[in-house]
Amino acid sequence: MTKADRFNIALLGNPNSGKSSLFNFLTGLRQDVSNFPGVTVDKKSGRYTLHNGIEAHIIDFPGTYSVYPNSSEEKLVINILADADNPHRPDLVIYVADITQLERHLLFATQIVDMGYPMVFVLNMTDLVEKDGSSIYLNGMKQYLGVPIICISVRDEKNMEELESKIEDLVEKLDRLSASPLYQLSDIETFVAGRVQKYLGLENIYTAKIISHHYQWLEFLSQDQRKYISDIIARSGFNDLKLQVRETMQRYDSYSEVVKKTVISNKKTLKSRTDQIDEWITHRFIGPLIFFVVMLFVFQSIYSWATYPMDWIETGFATAGSKMNNFLPDVWWSDLIINGLMAGMGGVLVFVPQIAVLFFLLSILEESGYMSRVVFMFDSIMQKFGMNGRSMVSLISSGACAIPAIMATRTISNPKERLITILVSPLVSCSARLPVYAVLIAFAVPDIKIFGILNVQGLAFMGLYLLGILGALGSALVFKKILKSDSGSFLMIELPDYKPPIWKNVLLSVKAKVIAFIAGAGKIIVFISVILWFLASFGPGDALKNAEMEAIQKSEATGKSIEAQNNLIASYKIEASYIGHMGKWIEPAIAPLGFDWKIGIALLTSFAAREVFVGTMATIYSIGNDNDEKTIREKMAAEVRPGTDIKVYTTATSFSLLVFYVFAMQCMSTLAIVKRETNTWKWPIVQFLFMSVLAYFSSLMVYQLMG
Best CA proximity match to 263, nearest among 123, 96, 95: 123
Contact 139, 113 (CB under 8 A): no
Dist. CA 660–CA 698, nearest whole Å: 7
Nearer to other proteins, 8 or 64 (CB): 64
Contacts with other proteins, 326-365, as mask; x by CB under 8 A: ----------------------------------------
Closer to other proteins by Cβ: residue 180 or 269:
269
How many Cβ atoms are within 10 Å of 570's Cβ, its own excluded?
A: 21
Nearest approach, Cβ of 377 to other proteins (angstroms)?
5
Sites for other proteins among residues 35-94 (CB under 8 A): 65-66, 68, 70
Question: What is the 3-state secondary structure of 77-137?
Answer: HHHHHCCCCCCCCCCEEEEEEEHHHHHHHHHHHHHHHHCCCCEEEEEECHHHHHHCCCEEC
Q: Report the residue from 367, 417, 497, 611 that binds other proteins according to the rule CB under 8 A.
A: 497
Give the shortest CB-278-to-other proteins separation in angstroms.
7
Structure-derived torsion over alpha carbons of residues 479, 672, 436, 700, reported in degrees to the nearest 10? -40
Smallest distance from other proteins to CB 42, Å = 21
Where residue 130 falls (left for φ over 0; alpha for ψ -120 to 50; beta otherwise) is alpha
How many CA atoms does the CB half-sphere of 13 hold within 13 Å? 27
Closer of 151 and 547 to other proteins (Cβ): 151
Of residues 456, 495, 512, 706, which one binds other proteins by CB under 8 A? 495
Query: Among 94, 61, 95, which residue's Cα sits nearest to residue 79?
Result: 61
Nearest to 699 by CA among 378, 471, 456: 471
Q: Which is nearer to other proteins, 325 or 383 (CB)?
A: 383
Cβ closest to other proteins, residue 286 vs residue 454 = 286
Query: Count of residues binding other proteins (CB under 8 A)?
Result: 43
In the bound state with other proteins, the residue whose beta carbon lies nearer, of 288 and 463, is 288
Pairing of strands 55-60, 42-49: antiparallel
Q: What is the β-pairing status of strands 135-136 and 92-98?
A: unpaired
Question: Which residue from 3, 30, 51, 283 is in contact with other proteins, where contact means CB under 8 A?
Answer: 283
Q: Which is nearer to other proteins, 286 or 689 (CB)?
A: 286
CB 33 to other proteins: min, Å: 26
Q: CB of 490: closest distance to other proteins in angstroms?
A: 6
Whose Cβ is closer to other proteins: residue 68's or residue 663's? 68
Residue 641, sorted as left (phi over 0), alpha (psi -120 to 50) or beta, turns out to be beta
**Choice from 47, 104, 176, 410 touching other proteins (CB under 8 A):** 104
Per-position DSSP letters for 152-185, written without gaps between them:
-BTTTTBSHHHHHHHHHHHHHS---S--S-SSPP
Q: Is 491 in the site for other proteins (CB under 8 A)?
A: yes
Under rule CB under 8 A, residue 325 binds other proteins: no
CB 575 within 8 A of CB 565: no
Q: Choose among 119, 126, 42: nearest CA to 76.
A: 42
Chain centre to alpha carbon of residue 170: 37
**Least CB distance from residue 397 to other proteins, whole Å?**
21
Calculate the dihedral angle through the C-alpha atoms of 452, 457, 462, 465, rounding to the nearest 10 degrees.
Answer: 180
Q: Is 245 in the site for other proteins (CB under 8 A)?
A: yes
Q: Are 106 and 97 in contact (CB under 8 A)?
A: yes
How far does CA 187 lie from the centroid of its chain? 46
Q: Which is nearer to other proteins, 284 or 481 (CB)?
A: 284
Is 255 near other proteins (CB under 8 A)?
no
Contacting residue, 140, 146, 148, 288, with other proteins by CB under 8 A? 288
Rounded least distance, CB 244 to other proteins, Å: 6
Query: Which parts of 28-69 fold into alpha helices (H)?
Result: none
Segment contacting other proteins by CB under 8 A, of 24-32, 152-160, 239-247, 499-507 = 239-247
Nearer to other proteins, 493 or 507 (CB): 493
Q: Give CA–CA dist 114/133, Å, rounded.
A: 34
Q: Are 538 and 578 in contact (CB under 8 A)?
A: yes
What's the CA gap between 213 and 248, in Å, rounded? 14
Which C-beta is closer to other proteins: that of 391 or that of 429? 391
Residues 260-279 that bind other proteins (CB under 8 A): 274-275, 278
Shortest gap between Cβ of 207 and other proteins (angstroms)?
Answer: 19
Does position 190 bind other proteins by CB under 8 A? Answer: no
Q: Which of 488, 541, 559, 643 binds other proteins (CB under 8 A)?
A: 488
**Which residues between 362 and 381 bind other proteins (CB under 8 A)?**
372, 375-381
Residue from 134, 225, 307, 383 binding other proteins (CB under 8 A): 383
CA nearest neighbour of 422 among 108, 690, 198: 690
- Which residues sit at the interface with other proteins, rule CB under 8 A? 65-66, 68, 70, 100-101, 103-104, 107, 241-242, 244-245, 248-249, 252, 274-275, 278, 282-285, 287-288, 372, 375-381, 383, 488, 490-497
